[in-house]
Amino acid sequence: MIKWRCTLCGECCKQYVPLVLPEDVQRIQSSLHRPMSSFITFYRETDFQGPLDESYQPQLFQTKHGKLVMGLNRVDLEGGEVGCIFVKDNVCSIHSFKPLVCRQYPFQPVDTANINGPFRLMENPCFGRHATDELVPEPPLRKNYILFHQKQDAYLEKIKEWNEDPASQHKDIDDFLQFVGLKWDES
Ligand code: SF4
Ligand code: SF4
């Protein structure tokens, strides 16, 4: 059991850019009946300075526009803040089908080489905004973590394959999307 409770502060949804997997995109598309063009942005390396998620490097894919990574849009929020397109009044508006990376936050195995072992909170969890007055059982955390990493590993393999093809640096974003089974304007 881990001592943790979400205080619905919304800070994670403001500080991080969720980097999504193709299956996240498809799930959000079909749940909202909206094309991915309405909620996805392709970020450049230079967009990831400051407190934004640093795990973007392996997710960069090359195109004729340079190296890009796929994430959820960021929008202006009330009070002059910036955050995920899906955060409304500090709460996730797509909670039941949100990206796997969001679902496994903010937990990780004590030893990442032993995912069947105990779990703990990540470094600097929740920017200190969480509470510790509830006990969270570990099996669902482990399930979310394993699912996210399995899917992410498969996506990273596809990106590696794409980047190893010298022709990819002359191709467009649409070509990459087709390669990973996505369509920009399809809802
Ligand atoms: S998808 Fe939901 S949980 Fe993830 S960053 Fe956006 S609002 Fe937050
Ligand atoms: S930062 Fe932590 S406490 Fe705040 S909304 Fe996100 S998960 Fe909940």
Position 91 confidence tier, pLDDT thresholds 50, 70, 90: very high
Position 51 confidence tier, pLDDT thresholds 50, 70, 90: very low
pLDDT at 98 exceeding the cut of 90: yes
Instruction: Give the pLDDT confidence of 53-83 residue by residue, as tens digits.
Output: 557 788 999 999 999 999 999 999 988 899 9
- Assess whether the C-beta atom of 84 lies below 6 angstroms from ligand 2: no
Q: How far apart are CA 96 and CA 74, in angstroms?
A: 20
Mean pLDDT estimate for the chain? 92
Q: Which of the listed residues 2, 5, 9 should we mutate to test ligand 2's pocket, taking the one with most ligand atoms within 8 A of CB?
A: 9
Q: How far apart are CA 125 and CA 76, in angstroms?
A: 24
pLDDT at 50 exceeding the cut of 70: no
Ligand nearest the Cα atom of residue 12: 2
